[in-house]
């Protein structure tokens, strides 16, 4: 079932490695189908280079495996918790991308020092409390700390990004790591550096979300 979506989720998982966001087998992408509400997710412990569409595991929202011969990601229960609690989210990405994870290790939010960070994350990327992996505790931390941000740092672990589709979750994962790298180096050289003001952040966020990219024009007759 859902062969096209399995190909899409498989390719998205492989792109994590191509974008240098993951190493070895850690990290995953999932997608919740809009029509059926089932979730397609990476299998546990499989190398990204070896992933094939038929390896993707399809589960329902409470974790029953509907299709797939491999065990789903150990983060599946947490992905499902987020999907059950946030109707607006259709894709979740988990990585241990290094600069962002260094903030998660220190339990620090990443304030917005750049206009790009303000465009995407508004005031900051929040950091959650610690939660053990395996059950839905991680999912609870994500839901509790995410707010309107597309990204959250999981204390002492890594990062989760979300989106209305895979493209948006992937974009947040890439820009999060870039944002964390800039913040790391900038504060390394200037520990007292202040983030952008609320006024500038609000202007960036409003402008980006209303004016950036190609606008869909109505057909003229």
| Residue ranges in contact with Zn ion by CB under 5 A | 158
Question: Which one, 2 or 100, has the nearer CB to Zn ion?
Answer: 100
Q: Smaller CB distance to Zn ion: residue 26 or 115?
A: 26
Tell me how far, at minimum, the Cβ of 12 lies from Zn ion, in Å: 17
| Cβ distance to Zn ion smaller for residue 72 or 158 | 158
Contact by Cβ (8 Å): 165, 88:
no
Cβ-based nearer residue to Zn ion, 80 or 118: 80
Q: Are 122 and 198 in contact (CB under 8 A)?
A: no
Report the nearest approach of Zn ion to the CB of residue 96 (Å): 6
Q: Which residues of 49-71 are buried (b: 16+ CB within 10 A; e: fewer)?
A: eebebebbbbbeeeeeeeebeee
Least Cβ distance, residue 94 to Zn ion (angstroms): 6
The packing angle between helices 166-189 and 98-106, to 10°, is 70
| Shortest distance in whole angstroms from residue 48 CB to Zn ion | 14
Find the shortest distance in angstroms from Cβ 189 to Zn ion: 30
- Complex with Zn ion: residue 58 or 153, whichever CB lies closer: 153
SS3 letters for 78-117?
Answer: HHHHHHHHCCCCCEEEEECCHHHHHHHHHCCCEECCCHHH
């Amino acid at each position: 079932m859902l062969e096209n979506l399995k190909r899409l989720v498989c390719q998205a998982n492989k792109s994590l490695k191509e974008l240098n966001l993951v190493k070895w087998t850690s990290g995953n992408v999932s997608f919740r189908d809009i029509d059926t509400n089932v979730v397609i997710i990476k299998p546990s412990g499989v190398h990204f280079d070896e992933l094939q569409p038929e390896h993707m595991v399809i589960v329902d929202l409470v974790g029953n495996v509907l299709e797939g011969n491999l065990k789903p990601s150990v983060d599946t229960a947490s992905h499902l918790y987020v999907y059950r609690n946030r109707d607006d989210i259709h894709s979740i990405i988990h990585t241990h991308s290094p600069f962002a994870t260094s903030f998660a290790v220190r339990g620090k939010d990443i304030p917005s020092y750049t206009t790009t960070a303000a465009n995407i994350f508004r005031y900051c990327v929040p950091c959650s409390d610690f939660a053990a992996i395996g059950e839905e505790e991680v999912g609870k931390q994500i839901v509790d700390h995410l707010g309107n941000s597309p990204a959250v740092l999981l204390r002492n672990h890594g990062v989760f990004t979300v989106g209305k589709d895979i493209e948006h979750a992937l974009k947040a994962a890439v820009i999060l790591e870039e944002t964390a790298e800039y913040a790391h180096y900038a504060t390394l050289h200037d520990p007292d550096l202040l983030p952008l003001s609320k006024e500038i952040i609000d202007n960036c966020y409003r402008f980006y979300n209303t004016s950036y990219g190609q606008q869909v024009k109505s057909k003229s007759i």
